[in-house]
Every structure is written in structure tokens, then in C-alpha cells.
Chain A
Amino acid sequence: MNLSAPLRFAVVGHPNEGKSSVVSTLAEDDTVPVGPFPGETRSCHVYPVIVDGRPIVEFIDTPGFQNPRHTLAWLEECGIRDEEAVKAFRIAHQDLPEYRHELELLRPIEEGAGIIYVVDGSRPLHKDDRAEMEILRRTGRPRLAIINFKDQDDRYLEEWKGAFRRNFNSVRVFNAHHANYAERIALLETLENIDQDWQPAMEQVISAFRRDWRQRLARTVDLICDLLEKSLGHVTLAKYDEKEKESAEERLKERFCRDLGELEQTFHQRIRRLFKHNIFKYQPPPNSALRDNLFSERVWKVLGLDRSQLTWAAALAGGAAGAGLDVAFTGISAGVFTATGALIGALSAYLGGENLARVKGMGPRLFGLRLLPSIGKIELKIGPLHNLQFFFVLIDRVLIFFSYVINWAHGRREPLPEDSPGEAREGYTAQWSDEQRRVAIRYFEALRNPDDVDRLEKRRLEFQAFLRHFLAGLSGENPE
């Protein structure tokens, strides 16, 4: 247990190399200011990692070096070493405004912070960089070099690594825009191994990160089951006059689809919050199956199971669940989706008779007997949509969304460009093994009869255990 002051790391480097982005991604904090122009960060900002109310580690975002060569020249000339040199430098340059950024960024180092030096590895090494490395070496503090990649170009990687090997305790590639959970942990583990004094605090932080992640996965699984149960059990009711039957039906179908869309939206909101995305406006890549709404033709073509898998699954789930499958497939191939591509048009055919039920003649009743003559109203009802393919389509959409959210680094602020290469993804469920799918199907089956609480609970637990495992796999964490 570390009861003393928190362990501090100064994240330093050339301007605009992605220092703030690295901090943002590492701390999963999307409020860290990041900008395309150098000089975005102009003073130190502390980003603490608080475990159980106590700051254990602090990452300090600093401004970039503005005068590396002059600074180095001064240090070389003054003939003092280590922290003392930094202090002397501060005293000598206190009143020089052009050295403001250097003074600011060296301050935590003078106070004993460890150094995380960030460079953009997609560009060649420059004299300024060598000067900065030499300055940092002269501070005598333990230091880690992080190679960030602002673009894909890795021609210079070896050159960078070579330069770092001489001056740094450790080197790590860490892409501020793509690093995920596993890479964050790996980075922290590197820090842990640099200096023995850092070990207890880093160990504590890493373990907290790990447990926190596991808890988030468990929570995600709960939310997924909640969404599945709500969606599959959703019922929309409406009363209409006999005369407007046709349009009433249309409206009801639309409302049904909208309701389910809203459930999904709420789910997305919660997942985003769980993974600490405050500003990231989730925008799936252009040809993602998430762009279209739940009942669109494309979604039902790419996600869920294919025909043979589904037939097999339906057999496993027992009769009724499979009803409507053929309608769905002939529907898709015969183009019964409406002009807008939505399934709404075919919904009733797809759902089968039982799902669009109508009860004629509303009015007061006593023991099932109508007290007044029919007053001409029809009650329409859609749902519950207990359909196997729907179940798998939902799971796929959920998993795709989850994987976008966990892979969207917090340091990454701009949405994907519209012309970005398609990350069009097929669903995950089609790739599940028979055994994995069977667990899902058993849960699906139990959902059909929610009154049998014991069975539902048991199967839900099985499914959740499996899903937690699966999500952990997707995020590179070993589930325990």
C-alpha cells in the first residue's frame, strides 16, 4: 500500500506529437484537450488515477518543447548534473517568456516525476528530437519512450527504436488513436518494470484497471440481457376505429420498430457511459450494418445466422421459434422489404399470425361478457417478437457496437471520414461454434417462457458466463 504521495509521470515531447492524446487514451478521459495545432497544451494538467479515493498515480500532460537546442546547449554548458541541472536551468530562465513551456514541462521532472516521452513514429528522426532526448537523459530520471503513430508509415520505426535504446529505460509502441484495453495494460506494465520504486503503486493501478474492466464486462453482459429480454418481449398495443384499419396497422408497425430502435439507443447510451465516452458521438463506418435500422433488409442479410445455421438452430430451439423463418428468407430474396429498405412492410408476414393479433370490439366487460354492444374499436397488438433470427441479429448488433466502443480510443476525437475504408463486418454469431450457439439458443428458448423463473435464471446465467468470456476475448482480457 502506498500511503505517500502519488507516483507521477510527466508526459513530455515535441509539440503536436500526441502527448495529450496519449494521456487521454491511457486515462480513458475524453475531456483532455487535444487539437490539430501545436501549442494546444500550454500548461501542465494533472490526470490522477484515483483508486478508492486515493490518487495513486498521476499523469501530467505538459506543453511541448519550444527551444530544445538552446535548452540543451545551456545544460551542456552549465556543467551541473541531474535534477540539480534542471533546477539551475529553471532559476536561470525564470524571467524569459520564450522558455515558458520548457520551464513548465521540466517542473514536474524537477519535482521527481518519471518521464514518458512521446514521439510520432511515422516521421523521421530530427535533430530537435535528439536534443530533447539528450535533455531528458540529463535529468537523470527514469524514462519510457512511447512511439505514437499519427499515420500508418512505419519506415522510421527502427531508426526511432535505435535512438531510444541508447537513451531510455524502455520503449513502447502505443497508438493514441487505436490503443485498446490490452495495450493500455501493457503500457502500464512496462512502467511497472522500469523502476523498482514504482512497482507497488503500478501494481495497484494495474489491478484496479483489471478489476474495473472485468466489472464493466459483467455490467455490459447484464445490459445486453436486459436489451434482449426487453426487445424480444416487447408488445405494442393500439386501439383504432374499424374504418382506418389499414393505416392503423401501418402506424402500429412503425411504432413497434421505433420502440425497438429506442431500446437499442438507450442501450448504446449506457454502454457509452460505462466505457466513459462522453463526447464520442458514435458514428459507425459508412458500410457498417449498424448504420441501418434494426429492421432494414441489409441488416437481416449480413447479421444473424445463415440459412443452414438457422435451420439447425431452430430445430434445437424447438418448433415455434423457427416459424416464420421461411417467410423471412423468401421475404428477403423476394424483396418484400419496402422501398425504403425496411422490413416494416413485410413485418406482419414475417412475424406470423400470432404476432399481429387483433381483438375486436372493445368495451366494458364482465367475466368475459361484453356489457355494451361493440363500439367499433379494434385492438391491434404486435409482439412479443420471439424470433430466433431476430435474437441473433440483435446480439450481433450489440457485439458490433460493443467492439466499436471499446476500440475507440479516448484520445481520438474526430469521426471516421466518410471515405474511410469499409470496416464492414459480418456478425459475430455466425462464427460462434455450435456449442457457443447452443448456449445462446437455450437462453432464447427459456425466454419464451419467462414464467419459469428457475429455468430462465439458470440459462441466463449460462449465457452470461459465456458472453462474459466472449467479451473478455474481444477486449483482450483473460476472464477469470
Chain B
Amino acid sequence: MTDPQPFKNPDPSEGFKPSARRSRWDIGDLIDLEYFLHGDEKENDDFLHRRDRTIFLSSPLSRQTPTPPRRILIRRWLEIRRKVAGKGTEGSPPLFPGTVFRETMNLAKWIVLALGFLFGAGLAFSLLNYRGVEPVNVSGYVSLLIGMQILFLFFLMAGSLLRRRFRRWTLTASFWGGLLHLLCRRAARAASKGLSVSFRDRFNAAFGLLKSKRSVYGNLFILPFFLISQLFGLSFNIGALIATLAKVLTSDLAFGWQTTVQVGPAAVHQLARLLALPWSWMVPEGTGYPSLQQIENSRIILKEGIAHLATTDLASWWPFLCLGLLFYGILPRFLLFLGTWVSKKIALARLDFSHAACDRLVMRMQTPLLETSHPFSAASPGNSPTLNRGFPAEEAAPAGNAPDAVALVDETLLPQAPREEVVKAGRGLFGVEITEILPLSGELRQNKQVLEQLRNWPWKRGQAGVCLIQEAWQPPILESLSFLREIRDVLPEKGKIYLLLVGKPRPETVLTPPAANDRKVWEWQLKSLADPYLGVGWPNNGA
């Protein structure tokens, strides 16, 4: 209601002017913000992050460095949220709680202005009712129109002092709080007519939130109501003043005073002077307030009538009454109004939007959307090649008649593979007599030479046997498997290949048992060779 252009209805669905309103917040905006944040509480995190990050990125703010302050970021977010929410509904634009609040306040402002004026004028008129018989009794006017206001100001001051002391539960705080609550409920009910149920829920919740957000916004939400009440006071006093002046100008008023209590004119004079302190420095006695003489002369004593009272003295009271209204009614109200208005502006300008929900919001806007999941990888993992499962059991040769075999050992393993151990392993595992150990350098050319050697090997009784020491911790790759095939190709028919799988070397020997898993992997791969004369063995006790 204290919007600088209060009569221009700020319709959120209308064009947003980035430069002008980028960082300005009013209470309606805050209400909308809380309303949207509340609605978001039930949403899923990913959705929120995606939406808010997109909002952020789509605005020019995202390209500014350093990132603009929160009030601008969140303001922009709010504009877009409102715009988007507005698009969803057909026909009339949706009524956001903030708009309802603004319009309610606007309406209230006009009603209050009119009512205040009427009440003030009405009261003044009825107090100044003069039928030419009895002069108007000033004491009624003073006590009702001036005394009450002084009392009220006093309570206000005491209340605010008390609030400073006790912060909560003071008379005024709970009064304004209650009024706020009541008005919110009214506004919500009025606005929520014709809205869908879920919308109404959010609506009511949003107004409920205002109450619960005191820790966030302090008394900010109470200020508009306070302003409204000051406005009422102001127009009330203006009404009274205008009525009084009108009465004074249009009719010949006679003012007098009377009392049943035994106070003399001196006391009345004292009181009048006291009351006139605020203005007596510029409007002197006799004009600004009646002098002792004038007071004595305007005393009404019923049985004497007024005939003996001087007309000028009877008229001497009215400037005092008008100035009283001005200084005790209009001026304080105006100052209060101004002060509150300014402090509201300051409070709004100082908002830092640092409460938890805003923290999360800003975090969502500023945290990049990070996806690392491969969209197609959820498919079933690659299938393993199908294998020929017909791997024959190794046939151990009869003892004593052990066939000969040649061992192939990588040259890097040789130092830790003493001849006798290799021979022992050949006997124990495959039942063959290893007669020769050929080193393999791993080079392709040397491999070929070894293969040539094997092709021309003088096998005894035609019984060929090659024992290859293979590190099982190296997974079987095509190259190793094709080497086995190449060996097969140079061996005579039914020549045996013995694959001795070993584990990680120990300082003294390479003939260690392989890890069970590595062994399984090799056995599984070897099946794909479908070689019936291929045997596999491994040391099982570190032999």
C-alpha cells in the first residue's frame, strides 16, 4: 500500500522491466516468494534443481560476474515463476497471494481513509453542536479528540518500549499480530473463492507462512497494518479538523467550559498552557491558547446562563482546539506514518534472503546440472562368448614311463625358476619329464625361432610335449592364446601342451599357486580353444 505508485496495480503477468524493478521487493513479492517456496517443498529435488538452474541460465544474470546479489537473483526467479504459473491457467490470470495482499491493502487503504474522515468529521460535528443556547463545552472536545489521542500515543510508546524489553507477547505485538492473522485469513478466504482446492490449500498455507516467518522477516509483515492504522488516524484527525474549521467559519460558535469537579480557572489555565506547549512558542497566549482572563470569562455556570459572557472570550477557544488536533492528532500520525514507511523501505532494502529455503534456492540456481550417467549404458552388459564346454580331463601318463617334454619359460622368470623346480613341477603336475628349458624373450622374432626349434624337435617315440609357464595374473589375451595355437601347429599330431599357471612371484620362486579367480578366468578362456590335448595345472602348495 505504500508503493510509490500505489494506484498502479502491479500486475505480475504484465511485462517485466528488468532495469527498473530488478531488485525492488515489496511485501507482495515476499508473500509470493514464500508461496512458491512452500509449494516447492513437496517437489522432487532433481526436478527443482533442473528447473531453477534452467531459470538461472536462461536469464542474463547468469552471464554476469560476479554473480549478482541474492535479491536480484531471487527476484528474477520469482518473476519467471509467476510468468510460468500465469501461463498454465486459461482465462483470467491467476491471482497470486501477493497480488491479493496488495489489492486487499489498497482497498483497505481507501476504506480506512474514507471511514476515518467520516468518523473524525462526525465526531467533531456532534461535539460542536451549538444551538445558540449553551456554549459548546470544550472539555468534551478536548478530552475526546485530544486527550484520547495523547493517551493512545502514550500506549504506543510504552508498548514499543516494552517490546524492546521483552520482544514477544507485548500488548501491541500481539494486537498487531492478531490483526494481521485475522486480515490474512479474511483476504485468503475472499481471494480463494473460485480457486481449486489444491490452490486454496497453498494459498492458505502461504498466508499461514507469513505468521511463521517472523524469524525471517521480523516485523516486516506487520508494518503495512500499522501504516493502515496510522492512515486511519490521520484521516480521522483531518476530518475532525476540517469539520471544526468548517463549523467555526460557517457559524458563530461559542465555546465555554464547565465542570462538576471543583477546579478553578487557574488550574484550567495551567492545563491549557501545558497542552499548548508544543505550539506556544509560535502562537502566543491569547491566540494559541486562552489566557487566564479569557478562561475565567468563558466559564459556564449553568444557573447564570451565558448572557454575561463576552463574545470574544467565548470564541477564544477554537484556535486552541484546532492546534491541539494538529499537534496531537495529525502531526504524530503523520510522523509515525512517515517513519514506518521509511523503516519498511529500509527493511525491504536490507533483506538478505539468507534463510534456509532461499539458501537452497540460490544453491540450486548456482550449482551446475551435472549428469554423468550414460543414457544407454543401463542396457545389459556385454555377453561373454559362448564356449565349447567339452574340455577333457588330463590323462596322467603311467609312472616310470614318463614322456619327455620341453619347458618354455619367459626369460624374466628364469632366475626365479630353477631347473629342478620346474622339472619337479612337470613330474608332479603333468607326469612328464622335462628335459629342456627354452627361454622366451617375448619378442616376436625370437618366438618364431623357438617355434621353429620345436617344429624340428627330435621327439622320443613321437610323443611331443611342451610345458608353458604362464602367469595367471595376466589375463588371457588373444596374443597369448594365439601363441598356444602356434605351438599346436608346430607339434606333431597328438602332441601335448601343458599350461602351468603360476601366481604372483615370490622372491625365491615363480612357481606359486595362482589366485582362484585368475585360474577360473584362464580355464574359461582355454575352453574356447577347444584343444583336446591341452592340459592345465598349477602349483598348489608353492612347490
Contacts and interface: CB of A to CB of B under 8 A. Distances in A.
Interface in A427-480: 453-454, 457-458, 460-461, 464
A48 B355 CA distance: 35
A42 B382 contact: yes
B367 A212 contact: yes
A218 B360 contact: yes
Contact of B476 (A38, A45, A123): A38
Given A40-B381, A41-B382, A45-B377, A65 B477 contact: yes
Interface in B426-449: 442-444
B356 A464 contact: yes
B6 to A, nearest CB: 31
A27 B475 contact: no
Interface in B443-475: 443-444, 471, 473-475
B442 A461 contact: no
B214 A69 contact: no
Interface stretch (A29-37, A323-331, A415-423): A29-37
A40 B521 CA distance: 12
Interface of A: 14-16, 27-29, 31-43, 45-53, 64-70, 73, 98, 101, 123-124, 126-128, 153, 204, 207-209, 211-212, 214-215, 218-219, 222, 274, 276, 453-454, 457-458, 460-461, 464
Contacts of B384: 37, 39-40
A35 B524 CA distance: 14
Contacts of B57: 52
B485 to A, nearest CB: 11
Given A28-B372, A35-B381, A453-B215, A211 B45 contact: no
A40 B410 CA distance: 28
17 contacts: A14-B477, A36-B521, A38-B521, A47-B377, A48-B371, A49-B372, A53-B369, A64-B475, A69-B442, A123-B474, A126-B474, A207-B368, A212-B367, A212-B368, A215-B49, A218-B360, A222-B360
B479 interface: yes
B521 A48 contact: no
B335 interface: no
A35 B521 CA distance: 11
B356 A461 contact: yes
Given A33-B382, A68-B479, A153-B504, A50 B371 contact: yes
B377 A66 contact: no
A32 B380 CA distance: 10
Nearest to B45: A219
B372 A50 contact: yes
Contacts of A53: 369
B517 interface: yes
Given A53-B369, A126-B474, A211-B367, A73 B377 contact: no
Nearest to A130: B442
A49 B369 CA distance: 10
A98 B368 contact: no
Interface in B167-217: 212, 214-216
A16 B475 contact: yes
Nearest to A225: B356
A348 B525 CA distance: 63
B139 interface: no
A70 B479 contact: yes
A47 B374 contact: yes
Residue of A35, A53, A73 with highest tally of chain B CB at under 10 A: A53
B363 A218 contact: yes
B475 A214 contact: no
Interface string B378-414: 1001101100000000000000000000000010100
B212 A453 contact: yes
Given A14-B475, A64-B475, A212-B368, 10 more contacts: A14-B477, A27-B373, A37-B524, A40-B384, A45-B374, A123-B473, A123-B504, A153-B504, A211-B368, A464-B356
10 smallest A-B Cβ distances: which pairs?
A33-B381, A38-B475, A454-B215, A66-B478, A27-B372, A208-B368, A50-B371, A127-B442, A211-B367, A16-B475
Interface in B468-519: 471, 473-479, 482, 504-505, 517
B479 A32 contact: no
Contacts of B364: 215
A49 B442 CA distance: 40
B363 A215 contact: yes
Given A124-B505, A218-B360, A37 B377 contact: no
B261 interface: no
B368 A52 contact: yes
A276 B356 contact: no
A48 B443 CA distance: 39
B333 interface: no
A39 B475 CA distance: 9
A66 B371 contact: no
Given A31-B374, A128-B474, A98 B482 contact: yes
B40 interface: no
Nearest to A454: B215
